[in-house]
Amino acid sequence: MTPDVFLFWFLALTTVLAALGVIISANPIYSVLSLVMTMVGVAAIFVTLGAYFLAGVQLIVYAGAVLVLFVMVLMLFDLKHEIHAFTRGPVTGAIKIAAVGLLGGMIVGAIALSANSLMKTENNGIQTVIEGDSTKALGKLLFSQYLFGFEALGVLLLVVAVGAVALARAKGGTHAQH
Amino acid sequence: MLSTDLFTQIGLGHYLVLSALLFCCGMAGVLLRRNAIVLLMSIELMLNAVNVSFVAFSRYLGQQEGQIMVFFVMTIAAAEAAVGLALAVSIFKRFREVNIRYFEHLKG
Amino acid sequence: MPLGGVLFIVVFLIAFGCLMLWLASKLGTQKIADPVKYQSYECGIPVQEKKDTKISVKFYLTAILFIIFDIEIIFMYPWATTFKDSLAAGQGLYVLLSMGAFLLIFIFGLFWEVKSKALEWD
Amino acid sequence: MGRDSFEIIVNGVKMIVIFLMMVQVVPILVWLERRGSAFIQNRFGPNRVGPLGLLQLLADAVKFLTKEEFFPEKGIKFLYYAAPVSALIPATLAFLAIPLGAPIKLDTFEMFGQTWGPYTFLIQGYEIGVGIVFILAVSSLAAYTILMAGWGSGNKYALLGALRASSQTISYELAMGLSIVGVILLYGTFNLTDMVTSQQGPLSFLFQGHTVTLGWLPNWGIFYQPLAALIFYAAAFAESNRLPFDLAEGEAELVAGFHVEYGGFKFNLFFIGEYGHCLVASALMVTFFFGGYQIPLITPDEMLVHVQGLMGAGNAAAIVNGLLHHVVFLIKMAVFVWIFIQVRWTLPRFRYDQLMDLGWKTMLPWALANTILTAALIYVAHT
């Protein structure tokens, strides 16, 4: 077993277990901490795929910013215990789980069935492995072909900043009475 | 035809299956949980699963576009989280609870 | 491979921390049971139980604005690494101007946040 | 012993040694801080145990280890114990990615009856291509330690302290990240080793097709990016929660912020993490703006020739050269660590609104201005 293979299985196992932790733990604080674990695992998987810069961005944006926001919100709300963590009714619950299982099975089956054609594309690919300066190539592509999307995202972020502030701003703290 | 190749030859398929598993976890979370914040977290999980498959395709097909898409998806996910949590805060202020059954009172 | 090194040192650090905590708990002096000792430390006055501690929503606003601006800053990183290369390739003005447009949006957002007093702490 | 396993063991040992160096520096820094503060405030400071009070370090360690194990009744066990253990991780991971000395190029040599091929031994935990991004990423994880400690203690003051600390940390992370954009523009890379390499020799740059050289100044980043250096260093103070930005802890007036309920070795682990952030900030300062491990005006290769002139060619000269540069790095770093201490005992604390205003309304716009100015100057200089 080569180190790369070991790393993949280790990371895949950790990530999936952490993702299960997100949906299973009844306390939202543990959910969000499991989600942090998942994000770190996904970042590590990006590294095994050679996307170093994206792994860094994943950590900075998701683990460092978005999830800090989640943790802070949960702490502000001070949700001690959750009475209705899951949806009620065993029948609907079973149907929902069955639906998820069906979807998962379908996706995995589709991947398994198309494995041959995927392998073919892989061999036909222009270059199977992107090595070295993938960050610079990323930057160049971002500023040539995808410039419009990039500027549009700038505008989107501006709108979100304005909107989120307008939504969240009110007099008093989190527990203001109305 | 079950051979050890399945375990020792890591290819595109492995990453896609991993991505599918993560996506299903996220979807189960959205369907099963009642806490609005946990719902948002599950959506983040699904977006991340998609990111994994984007990066895997980008690597195995030798094209950078996948990574650009991941960049964009991350931005949009963060924006969605910011707005979603702002909504959660305003709901919490009204009902002191973030259970989704309070969302239906929001109309009008 | 750096990833292996990172994983190794993380595992090592966790082991080190746990070992130290375990050692400290073994070497520590004997416990003297006293119920008051284990209460929350609130400077000696009796612990106050209030149902909801009001926490300013400002913390949360700061975090939201942090996310937005953090992403905008992250977008500048690939631009910053390729800027000199683009100059050498003769696309300098184009890249400079496209980033300039993005920066204008950034500056406008920052200006708006300051103007709307979303960043005021009192 | 196989070649691969030998390399893996050498790298593992190297990482552990660098980590232990970092841990060992902390008591020395504590001693320095106490003696230094005493010097600044015209007191004696610790001077009883051993010469100059140096054995105080040992006494402190023993004291930390023999404190009573304590767990608050409202605490959450897992989070309460996980927080101090994870406090070590971000700073250590970041520190290991910084090049601490010139790489040692070893020729083939004989050991255990085998010939070992030429190696390049890096005085660095691991070399990461996207060095800066990695360091920013792992240090952004430090907020969780604080939040976990605040929540796990089950104390509302700890929670408030944690929220304040993490708000402050993330606010200044913006200014820090933006000031680094100027640095990346200057060097055109994320790689820390490449940054150090491009700072070698005397100050010389290209301006509109002419090469301008100033032979008496080293080619350090500080001469190109003075504003970025200032903002980066100030933001680093805020990131490591030290005075004048220690609102969250307020050791002297408030209780202690997020670590009210911690004592003994658990507190010490937080302490190591905090000093680790100081060390990382100082090391990054040296790497970005002050030429890294290089001796001013002499490149490592030239220095190697000098050393070889003294000792003769061979592996010994290469090792001495590498260690020499490591010592140079440590000296430069010590200067910035001393400034950390000096500032702590010189400036009073901000108010919380002043702190937030400084981060958002002063440092962020200035860092933005620095970015625009740098880009414009590079554009003008290269056309």
For chain A, give the DSSP string.
--HHHHHHHHHHHHHHHHHHHHHH-SSHHHHHHHHHHHHHHHHHHHHHTT-HHHHHHIIIIIIIIIHHHHHHHHHHHT----S--B-S-HHHHHHHHHHHHHHHHHHHHHHHHTHHHHHHHHHHSS-S---S-HHHHHHHHHTTTTHHHHHHHHHHHHHHHHHHHHHH--SSBTT---
Give the model's pLDDT for residue D232: 93
Query: D156, C53: Cβ pair inside 8 Å?
Result: yes
Global confidence as pTM: 0.89
Give the model's pLDDT for residue B92: 77
Residue B82 has its nearest CB partner, among C57, C67, C75, at: C67
Residue A23, in any domain of the structure: yes
Strongest mean pLDDT among A18-22, A71-75, A99-103, D319-323: A18-22
Instruction: Report the percentage of chain D scoring pLDDT > 70.
Output: 97
Residue A96, in any domain of the structure: no
Residue C50, in any domain of the structure: no
- Residue with the bigger pLDDT between B50 and D260: it is B50
Residue C14, in any domain of the structure: no
Q: Number of structural domains, chain C? A: 1
- Residue with the bigger pLDDT between B80 and C2: it is B80
Residue A72 has its nearest CB partner, among D130, D148, D163, at: D163
C56 secondary structure, DSSP code: B
Residue A160, in any domain of the structure: no
pLDDT digits (tens, 9 = 90+) for C14-25: 999 999 888 888
pLDDT digits (tens, 9 = 90+) for B21-77: 899 889 888 888 878 888 888 999 999 999 999 998 888 887 888 888 898 999 999
pLDDT digits (tens, 9 = 90+) for A32-45: 889 999 999 999 99
pLDDT digits (tens, 9 = 90+) for D18-63: 888 888 888 888 888 888 888 888 888 787 777 887 888 888 888 8
pLDDT at position D153 over 60: yes
Nearest CA in chain A to C70: A61
Enumerate residues 6+ apart whose C-beta is below 8 A from A45: A8, A11, A12, A15, B15, B18, B52, B55
Give the model's pLDDT for residue A82: 56
ipTM of predicted assembly, 2 dp: 0.89
Give the model's pLDDT for residue A173: 53
Domain regions of chain D by residue span: 3-381
CA distance A95 to chain B (A): 10
Residue C24, in any domain of the structure: no
Residue A119, in any domain of the structure: no
Task: Tell me the H-state helices in chain C.
Answer: 2-27, 58-88, 92-115
As a whole number, the mean pLDDT across chain D is 84
Which of D315, D309, D308, D303 is CA-nearest to residue D107? D315
Residue A110, in any domain of the structure: no
Q: What is the CATH number of the domain that holds A80?
A: 1.20.120.1200
* Whether the Cβ atoms of residue A50 and residue A73 lie closer than 8 Å to each other: no
CB atoms within 10 A of CB A131: 7
Query: D144, A68: Cβ pair inside 8 Å?
Result: yes
Q: Does B73 touch chain C (CB under 8 A)?
A: no
Give the model's pLDDT for residue B1: 46
Residue C76, in any domain of the structure: yes
How much is the average pLDDT of D4-13? Answer: 83
How much is the average pLDDT of A49-77? Answer: 84
pLDDT at position A78 over 70: no
pLDDT digits (tens, 9 = 90+) for D335-381: 999 898 888 888 888 887 888 888 888 899 999 999 999 999 888 88
Distance set, CA D126 to CA C1, D100, D106, D192, D283 (Å): 8, 11, 18, 11, 15
pLDDT digits (tens, 9 = 90+) for A147-161: 888 889 989 989 988
Residues in chain A within 8 Å Cβ distance of C68: 157, 160-161, 164
Residue C114, in any domain of the structure: yes
Q: Number of structural domains, chain A? A: 1
Residue C115, in any domain of the structure: yes
Give the model's pLDDT for residue B45: 92
Model confidence at D181, pLDDT cuts 50, 70, 90, reads very high
- Residue with the bigger pLDDT between D107 and D22: it is D22
Model confidence at D308, pLDDT cuts 50, 70, 90, reads confident
Query: C64, B82: Cβ pair inside 8 Å?
Result: yes
How much is the average pLDDT of A21-34? Answer: 86
Residue C86, domain extent? 55-122
Enumerate residues 6+ apart whose C-beta is below 8 A from D375: C83, C96, C99, D185
Model confidence at C41, pLDDT cuts 50, 70, 90, reads confident
Residue A172, in any domain of the structure: no
pLDDT digits (tens, 9 = 90+) for A80-96: 555 566 666 677 778 87
Residue A34, in any domain of the structure: yes
pLDDT at position A115 over 80: no
Give the model's pLDDT for residue B52: 92
Residue C29, in any domain of the structure: no
- Report all structural domains of chain B as residue ranges with CATH numbers, in order of start: 12-106 (1.10.287.3510)
Query: B79, A38: Cβ pair inside 8 Å?
Result: no
